[in-house]
Amino acid sequence: MTQTRQGRAPTVVFFKGRERAVDADMLVRRFWRCVFNERDLSVVEGMVSPDFAWRGSLGTQTSGIRDFLAYVRAAQQSLPDLAVGLDELTWTGEQVWTRMTFTATHQGALLGVAASGRALSYPGLAVHDVSDGVLSRVWVVADTLDLHRQLVGKA
């Protein structure tokens, strides 16, 4: 279920000297689709702040674009077919909250478990802060106990 956009005015921001309207929820949807589902890392610099703060679903924290990109590349090695589904989305001001589902095939070491080829699916939540038309912070938490049980075959 997705929150409706009716009656909601976009946030107007100045980006690189030009005024533009940015819908925080649409930015969040594009971020997950482009970066994680389509693996298009070329869009990251235009979507996040230079000091972008990230806390991933497995607890890894990064600061800045370079560290975030290194995190994404490492995640793609263990879970090259990782897909993120946004199951629910809501917002308050410049903060967007999502309930999501991560799906992937375990094809590299993860949480101390060697590649198993198992299909994985686990839930998570994310909080996204939007500032000046870009993401300044994303904080993700996931059901890692459920994930670990699937990794070791006890799901």
Q: What percent of the chain has pLDDT over 90?
A: 62
Instruction: Select, from the ranges 3-7, 75-79, 97-101, the one with the highest average predicted confidence (pLDDT).
Output: 97-101
Instruction: Select, from the ranges 5-9, 70-74, 90-94, the one with the highest average predicted confidence (pLDDT).
Output: 70-74
Residue 16 has pLDDT above 50, yes or no: no
Question: Rounded to an integer, what distance in angstroms lies between the CA atom of residue 79 and that of residue 81?
Answer: 6
What average pLDDT does this structure show over 53-70? Answer: 94
Reported confidence tier of residue 66, pLDDT bands at 50, 70, 90 = very high
Residue 54 has pLDDT above 90, yes or no: yes
Q: Which two tokens stand for residue 43?
A: 């869009």
* Contact residues for 140 (Cβ-Cβ < 8 A; gap 6+): 55, 56, 57, 124, 125, 126
Question: Rounded to an integer, what distance in angstroms lies between the CA atom of residue 109 and that of residue 28?
Answer: 28
Dmax of the chain from CA atoms?
54
Residue 155 has pLDDT above 60, yes or no: no
The amino acid at 141: V
Reported confidence tier of residue 7, pLDDT bands at 50, 70, 90 = very low
Task: Say what the pTM is.
Answer: 0.82
∠ CA 66-126-75, nearest 5°, is 45
What average pLDDT does this structure show over 78-107? Answer: 92
Q: 68: helix, coil or strand?
A: helix
Question: Rounded to an integer, what distance in angstroms lies between the CA atom of residue 75 and that of residue 52?
Answer: 18
Q: Which two tokens stand for residue 118?
A: 């198992």
Q: What is the sign, positive or negative, of the torsion defined by CA atoms of 33, 30, 131, 10?
A: negative
Structural domains in the chain, sorted by start: 18-103+124-141 (3.10.450.50)
Q: Which two tokens stand for residue 66?
A: 């370079």
Q: What percent of the chain has pLDDT over 70?
A: 85
